[in-house]
Amino acid sequence: MPLPERLVIASRRSRLALWQAEHVRARLAALHPGLQIEILGLSTRGDEILDRSLAKVGGKGLFVKELEIALDDGRADLAVHSAKDVPMTLEPGFALAAILAREDPRDAFVSRSFARLEALPDGAVVGTSSLRREAQLRSRFPRLEVRPLRGNVETRLAKLDRGDYAAIVLAVAGLERLGLAERIGAVLDPDVSLPAAGQGALAVECREGREDLAAALAPLHDGPTGACVRAERAVSRALGGSCLVPLAAYGEIVEGGLRLRGLVASPDGTRVVRGETRGDPGAPERIGESLAGELRRAGADEILAALS
């Protein structure tokens, strides 16, 4: 099925989101010379509500709803997301048509005065936007004070620079995409801060049934990243994952198999349940569901029940 002469990509208006949309636009333009591709910048509820944590205002769906409305009413053909921002269960009628090759999925320590987390003095204030990071920081560094930090990457860095925080934790991939890698003081090992499901990967969403778009996007899809992200999302989905749950999942292709690590924690970090499993990359959802069961048996259900 041939493509239309013009495609529109829906994107959030932040500089990082527009960089990601432009990246996909450039890849598609190289594959399909002559195709007109435009970017439609939209403001989402997640971008507008900055005085409360995502957990308190509706979670990940706040970053994709307006983009899905644009897909639904025909203003856009595609939507580009950070894969970690996509709800674990899509609304009916939508599909992830491609997951691009993952960049660095780890978290970054950023500070003007300190080289690493271990160097922070007792009571130092660390800012983060996610319960996942907050719980892991509180568990490993209970002597630090962790406070919420909302806004786009530039806004968070500005709050650090004016002295509101001694340090902040951001995604490595976002800083690198914006040309801000020099701000990274240290990259946090997954054993210190296990990444979020999908972190570091871009996902392209469209309406179900758009076989023309699926074919056009197929060369952009990265099989190993797709398998890892599908496994990670399966863990989170099986555990009811949302911004209300401090949950992490990270998959890697190791010696031909898929190694999947997961974590569920209480928000205060006093309880942390970890698990790991391996399996066939050809069945990523099965691996994710298996790890979710392992985490439940290890005590995740008790943590989840306390959060419900």
What residue spans of 197-247 are helical by DSSP H?
211-217, 223-238
Q: Which two tokens stand for residue 84?
A: 């970690």
Quote the pLDDT of residue 3. 83
| Whole-prediction pTM | 0.92
Q: What is the 3-state secondary structure (H, E, C) of 88-156?
A: CCCCCCEEEEEECCCCCCCEEEECCCCCCHHHCCCCCEEEECCHHHHHHHHHHCCCCEEEECCCCHHHH
The C-alpha atoms of residue 292 and residue 245 are separated, in whole angstroms, by 14
Domains of the chain (ranges; CATH) run: 6-101+201-221 (3.40.190.10), 107-188 (3.40.190.10), 233-307 (3.30.160.40)
Write the pLDDT tens digit of every residue in 8-48: 999 999 999 999 999 999 999 999 999 999 999 998 765 54
Write the pLDDT tens digit of every residue in 135-182: 999 999 999 999 999 889 999 999 999 999 999 999 999 999 999 999
- Amino acid at the residue 108: A
Going by pLDDT thresholds of 50, 70 and 90, the confidence category of residue 52 is: very low
Query: Among 125, 207, 170, 152, which residue's Cα sits nearest to residue 18?
Result: 152
Active site residue 85: yes
- Per the residue annotation, which of 47, 77, 85, 107 is the catalytic one? 85
Average pLDDT in the chain: 93
- Is residue 289 scored above 60 in pLDDT? yes
Q: What phi, psi does 19 have (nearest 5°)? A: -60, -45
Q: Are 177 and 100 in contact (CB under 8 A)?
A: no
**Averaged pLDDT, 106-128:** 97
Query: Among 213, 225, 218, 240, which residue's Cα sits nearest to residue 295?
Result: 240
